[in-house]
Amino acid sequence: MPERTVFYISDGTGITAETLGSAILAQFDFTPRHVRLPFTDSVDKAHQAARQINHAAETEGKRPIVFATLVNAEVLAVLSESRAMLLDMFCAFVQPLEQELGLKSRHRVGRFSDVSKSQSYRERIDAINFSLAHDDGQSNRDLASADAILIGVSRSGKTPTSLYLSMQYGLKIANYPLIPEDFERQQLPPAIVQYKKKLFGLTIAPDRLAEIRAERRPGSHYAALENCRYEVAEAETLMRQSSIRWLSTTTKSIEEIATTILQEIRPERLSY
Amino acid sequence: MPERTVFYISDGTGITAETLGSAILAQFDFTPRHVRLPFTDSVDKAHQAARQINHAAETEGKRPIVFATLVNAEVLAVLSESRAMLLDMFCAFVQPLEQELGLKSRHRVGRFSDVSKSQSYRERIDAINFSLAHDDGQSNRDLASADAILIGVSRSGKTPTSLYLSMQYGLKIANYPLIPEDFERQQLPPAIVQYKKKLFGLTIAPDRLAEIRAERRPGSHYAALENCRYEVAEAETLMRQSSIRWLSTTTKSIEEIATTILQEIRPERLSY
């Protein structure tokens, strides 16, 4: 039974509060109950939130932890009087920054508000559509406009990584499977060989690959350890011979793979 | 010309630092240069980062802003001596939490480390695969295990929202287009009618829809304002008659749409 509640409260989506809160809580051996209260953007809603907090405090006999990103000062004031340990991320950093920059902050709710018509938001949606249309070598159209083309054997992590990079950074990422035909020819797939500078390889430990493939097709040749060993060895040889940058995804999360690729490809549009 | 540099520095991916930093900077009318320095996990790399910071300080005549999430105390010490305004998010919140919880923090780098084999990470990858396989009504298989099924006319925002929910929260989200045949029959698509409790509708202002569709197929009947008006009106009627919850995506970002849906569906596995 979790014995303490963590609230994520924001006048926007609360995604920032939850991202930072989760990262901080990961530093502790502590399994709380989570309550998300996004769009807490009025004094009424603040009082409602405060009631929830006080109720948890009473039931659990410990004050709840509140990770907040609140632009609205009145909402913040109401929550400050609740029985919580209030960790407001804006308070902590916005005021010192106002001094440093010599600028007043906008007190604008949510970094996503009204973005839906902005240029960069449209580019992000376009990027997601591009990555979807170019998943798993589905299309060779317009590969010239890809920011990167991920290659690797089936189930090496190409699809989630492509989608993450487009969703998070607005990058157009195609991905192309390396298949037994490529290994027999000992050449990169013809459609992508001209885009060698955009290529980035993903590889994976054969035993991990066999596990992943077995979940999908247990007992198949496709999932057999021996076949996985063969495919991975051939793919790595091919990437090495073609001087393509690559990394192993075996123990990495999507976020770590994506960040590493970003470091390597340094797309111009992300003002690296 | 940007005249000040903002650094995102972490011993992990730096995604948390960048998420919070961007949200905070969105409060200012300020367009800095961005530099990401993920995986700064050794004293050597810290000195390298400090050199970059000091170089920017010199060139720009203003000290750079550094948003950091650093677990490694030695790395933090090196950066503290650079010519930056250092905003470390862990410092600000981990110490007070140690006191509050009566626990020592782990000083563990990165909330994503070693997650690739964890149960919740696998579920997240499975969710992404599910959402991809069930994009745009591609598959009716296993809809019973969907956390939600998004419905709406073509280009109302179903695909990016589905992918975001699976990527960010590990939810299995199918999406199903409402098409002219459904409007003629005045009924929900047969494949999904039995899952009415899982359905969530997305709608959009017809003029915005016409704009979005025109980017893809300019001058088509599909993109014509009159047709968009017809489809949206029919879709809304259908959703209203079937008592399906729905929202308008017109001025909302993916994050706002996703957060709102999450509030409504409150999936059990997210311990809401």
What is the pLDDT, as a whole number, of residue A120? 81
pLDDT digits (tens, 9 = 90+) for A2-39: 689 999 999 999 998 998 898 899 889 888 999 999 99
The CA angle A171-A176-A182, to the nearest 5 degrees, is 155
Instruction: Answer yes or no: do A124 and A252 share one domain.
Output: yes
Which of A116, A251, A259 is opposite residue B14, by nearest beta carbon?
Answer: A259
Q: Does the CB of A272 have a partner CB in chain B at under 8 Å?
A: yes
Cα radius of gyration rounded to whole Å, chain B: 24
At how many degrees (to 10) do helices B158-169 and A158-169 cross?
A: 110
Structure ipTM over 0.85, yes or no: yes
Report if residue B153 sits inside a domain.
yes
Instruction: Answer yes or no: do A193 and A131 share one domain.
Output: yes
Q: Does the CB of A141 have a partner CB in chain B at under 8 Å?
A: no
Report if residue B109 sits inside a domain.
no
Instruction: Answer yes or no: do B131 and B80 share one domain.
Output: no
Instruction: Answer yes or no: do B95 and B122 share one domain.
Output: no
Between the CA of residue B57 and those of A103, B3, B33, B85, what are the distances in Å? 19, 10, 12, 10
Decide: helix, strand or coil at residue A18: helix
**Nearest-angstrom CA–CA distance, B156 and B173:** 15
Instruction: Answer yes or no: do B142 and B256 share one domain.
Output: yes
Between the CA of residue B157 and those of A39, A181, A194, what are the distances in Å? 20, 38, 34
pLDDT digits (tens, 9 = 90+) for A49-68: 999 999 999 999 999 999 99
List strand residue ranges (DSSP E) for chain B, in order: 5-10, 33-37, 65-69, 85-88, 148-152, 173-177, 199-203, 246-248
**Residue B180: which H helix or E strand, with range?**
helix B180-185
Q: Which of residues 89-108 of B touch A (CB under 8 A)?
A: 89-90, 92-94, 96-98, 100-101, 103, 105-108
Q: Does the CB of B69 have a partner CB in chain A at under 8 Å?
A: yes
Cα radius of gyration rounded to whole Å, chain A: 24
Report if residue A54 sits inside a domain.
yes
The dihedral through the CA atoms of A131, A133, A138, A141 has a sign that is negative
**Nearest-angstrom CA–CA distance, B141 and B241:** 26
Instruction: Say yes or no for a CB contact (<8 Å) between B27 and A106.
Output: yes
pLDDT digits (tens, 9 = 90+) for B55-109: 999 999 999 999 999 989 999 999 999 999 999 988 889 889 999 999 988 876 6
Decide: helix, strand or coil at residue B173: strand
**Nearest-angstrom CA–CA distance, A207 and A110:** 44
What is the pLDDT, as a whole number, of residue A272? 46
What residue of A is the nearest CA neighbor of B258? A13
Amino acid at B28: F
Report if residue B126 sits inside a domain.
yes
Report if residue B106 sits inside a domain.
no
Q: Distance between alpha carbon B202 and the CA centroid of its chain, in Å?
A: 17
pTM exceeds cut of 0.80: yes
Instruction: Answer yes or no: do B130 and B259 share one domain.
Output: yes
Residues of A in contact with B14 (CB under 8 A): 259
| Domain boundary, last residue among B39, B67, B101 | B101
pLDDT digits (tens, 9 = 90+) for B5-37: 999 999 999 998 998 898 899 889 888 999 999
Where residue A189 sits, what CATH number does that domain have? 3.40.50
Instruction: Answer yes or no: do B221 and B263 share one domain.
Output: yes
Residues of A in contact with B258 (CB under 8 A): 13
Q: What is the distance between the terminal CA atoms of chain A, rounded to a whole angstrom?
A: 45
Q: How are beta strands B199-203 and B148-152 bridged, if at all?
A: parallel
What residue of A is the nearest CA neighbor of B107? A27
Residues of A in contact with B119 (CB under 8 A): none
Which of B36, B96, B271 is opposite residue A33, by nearest beta carbon?
Answer: B271
Mind listing the pLDDT tens digit of every residue in chain A (272 residues)? 568 999 999 999 999 899 889 889 988 988 899 999 999 999 999 999 999 999 999 999 999 999 999 989 999 999 999 999 999 988 889 889 999 999 988 876 655 555 666 788 888 999 999 999 999 999 999 999 999 999 999 999 999 999 999 999 999 999 999 999 999 999 999 999 999 999 999 999 999 999 999 998 999 999 999 999 999 999 999 999 999 999 999 999 999 999 999 998 877 666 54
User: How many CB pairs (< 8 A) connect A and B?
Assistant: 203
| Domain boundary, last residue among B47, B77, B101 | B101
Which residues are A203's β-sheet partners?
A248
Domain of residue B20, residue span: 5-101
Write the CB contacts of A185 (distance below 8 Å, at least 6 apart in sequence). none
Instruction: Answer yes or no: do B146 and B202 share one domain.
Output: yes
Q: Mean per-residue pLDDT for B261-267?
A: 86
Q: How many structural domains does chain B have?
A: 2
Instruction: Answer yes or no: do A88 and A147 share one domain.
Output: no
What residue of A is the nearest CA neighbor of B68? A20
Smallest CA-to-CA distance from B61 within B127, B21, B19, B4 is with B4
